[in-house]
Amino acid sequence: MQTTDDLLAGDVRGKRVLVRSDLNVPLDADRNITDDGRVRASAPTIKALADAGAKVIVVAHLGRPKGAPEEKYSLQPVVGRLSELVGREVKFAADTTGPSAQEVVASLSDGDVALLENLRFNAGETSKDETERGAFADELAGLADAFVSDGFGVVHRKQASVYDVATRLPHYAGALVGTEVDVLKRLTQDPQRPFAVVLGGAKVSDKLGVIANLLNVADRLLIGGGMVFTFLKAQGHEVGKSLLEADQIDTVKGYLEEAQAKGVEIVLPTDIVVAEAFSADSPHEVVAADAIPADQMGLDIGPESAQLFADKLSDTKTVFWNGPMGAFEMAPFAAGTKAVAQALVDVTKDGALTVVGGGDSAAAVRQLGFADSDFGHISTGGGASLEYLEGKTLPGIDILSK
């Protein structure tokens, strides 16, 4: 797999380089960025190419438009922050490959940077039809002389700007993608032990593949978040109005049995913070994990569990964490997630490799006041990280080796 270092080893001055970044940032009601982590992660590759004199054409998506322009999904709000981070004005094209994009790209001087409008405003970007997807990839490739894949959050998708463009241009892995893959290899290929995996988030079904695969690799699995209630139900406990995937109970029972047979420790909460409703204003209390009232729902792991999880992480050498422990967006239900984050910070200081697996986990640690530098690595791609840890082939990585 060639990287941007290989590209930069040659003369890129005047070359048009198409960079697939991940700028899918959260916006508030006024369209202001609330977490610029992905923009910060994307900037170094863009800046390095521009500093070397390339004409850099950045493409990305935001949200889930349905193949047509929608103002609320425009990438326009990203332009200002990206300009600050790359140290030059970023020109913006009001379409992806249409007249505006053609005009903006043609106007670029050596070292200039342009951002094209949301890729997913074109149905060809995500189309399952290879002809339609390929036609859009042809249009993108026609704008450039080389392609750099630096959007790790999308490399598990077989999309025009991720996969098909790489078959049409000389292609390279960006610094961000390279770092992400290196970190994930450290998690899956002879990790330092003890190796603990912390899984949370809403649905156990989202994590089935990764649990199955990690039972062969990890020493401990710590389970929190909404998915824990399917585990508690599988043990025969009442879970009240908590999130529950009843169709996964038998699968979870199988995992519990397999973990015991393989000597993998599965750590479940011993107490739960419950409330009558999913609301910060709803009265809440702490109950034993095996005594959740029928009219209550679990919204965080309890203080005893937070300490238990911290203790189980205290001697680890490798930790992967994906998914918050509770409804961290609401202050009464944020303590469990904060305790896990602090436990990771503590073992990072002791030399452990700690990886926060993108998505809600990355948003949570930043919202709760932690710095990116407090952890070994914060991934920009939750879904891509999970699929890699499942052992799946990621199309956007695979194609870079061809």
What pLDDT shows up at residue 208? Answer: 86
Q: Is 381 annotated as a binding residue?
A: no
Tokens 């990072």 correspond to 348
Active-site position among 20, 38, 91, 338 = 38
β-strands 265-267, 90-92 pairing: unpaired
Residue 383 has pLDDT above 90, yes or no: no
* Identical topology for domains 4-178 and 191-390: yes
User: Comparing 16-20, 250-254, 361-365, 372-376, which segment has the lowest mean pLDDT?
Assistant: 361-365
Q: Is 250 annotated as a binding residue?
A: no
Q: Is 22 annotated as a binding residue?
A: yes
Q: Is 133 annotated as a binding residue?
A: no
Active-site position among 40, 47, 203, 253 = 203
Q: ω into residue 194 within 30 of 0, thus cis?
A: yes
Confidence of residue 360 (pLDDT cuts 50, 70, 90): confident
Confidence of residue 363 (pLDDT cuts 50, 70, 90): confident
Q: Is 110 annotated as a binding residue?
A: no
Overall average pLDDT of the 169-188 stretch: 94
Show the CA angle centred on residue 125, arms to residues 122 and 130, nearest 5°.
120
Overall average pLDDT of the 166-170 stretch: 98
Overall average pLDDT of the 114-142 stretch: 98
What pLDDT shows up at residue 358? Answer: 72
Confidence of residue 227 (pLDDT cuts 50, 70, 90): very high
β-strands 220-223, 265-267 pairing: parallel
Show the CA angle centred on residue 158, arms to residues 141 and 380, nearest 5°.
95
Whether 228 and 256 have beta carbons less than 8 Å apart is answered as no
What pLDDT shows up at residue 68? Answer: 96
Whether 318 and 193 have beta carbons less than 8 Å apart is answered as yes
Overall average pLDDT of the 254-278 stretch: 97
CA distance 386 to 394: 11
Fold type of domain 4-178: Rossmann fold (3.40.50)
pLDDT tens profile 204-221 = 888 888 899 999 999 999
Q: Is 329 annotated as a binding residue?
A: yes
Q: Is 377 annotated as a binding residue?
A: no
Overall average pLDDT of the 367-378 stretch: 94
What pLDDT shows up at residue 209? Answer: 86
pLDDT tens profile 78-98 = 999 999 999 999 999 999 999
Confidence of residue 391 (pLDDT cuts 50, 70, 90): confident
pLDDT tens profile 266-277 = 999 999 999 999
Tokens 């709803």 correspond to 282
CA distance 296 to 284: 9
- Would you call 67 a catalytic residue per the annotation? no
Residue 357 has pLDDT above 80, yes or no: yes
CA distance 236 to 63: 39
Residue 159 has pLDDT above 90, yes or no: yes
Q: Is 157 annotated as a binding residue?
A: yes
Higher pLDDT, 340 or 384: 340
Q: Is 361 annotated as a binding residue?
A: yes
Q: Is 298 annotated as a binding residue?
A: yes
Radius of gyration of the chain (CA): 22
Q: Is 70 annotated as a binding residue?
A: no
Q: Is 64 annotated as a binding residue?
A: yes
What pLDDT shows up at residue 222? Answer: 97
What pLDDT shows up at residue 151? Answer: 96
Residue 359 has pLDDT above 80, yes or no: no
Which superfamily is assigned to 191-390 in CATH? Phosphoglycerate kinase, N-terminal domain (3.40.50.1260)
Confidence of residue 352 (pLDDT cuts 50, 70, 90): very high
Overall average pLDDT of the 248-264 stretch: 96
What pLDDT shows up at residue 204? Answer: 84
Active-site position among 226, 240, 359, 396 = 359
Active-site position among 186, 383, 391, 392 = 383
CA distance 333 to 298: 9
Confidence of residue 382 (pLDDT cuts 50, 70, 90): confident
Domain boundaries, the chain: 4-178, 191-390
Overall average pLDDT of the 179-200 stretch: 93
Q: Is 122 annotated as a binding residue?
A: no
Residue 234 has pLDDT above 80, yes or no: yes
Calculate the average pLDDT of the chain: 95
Residue 258 has pLDDT above 90, yes or no: yes
Q: Is 193 annotated as a binding residue?
A: no
pTM: 0.89
- Would you call 383 a catalytic residue per the annotation? yes
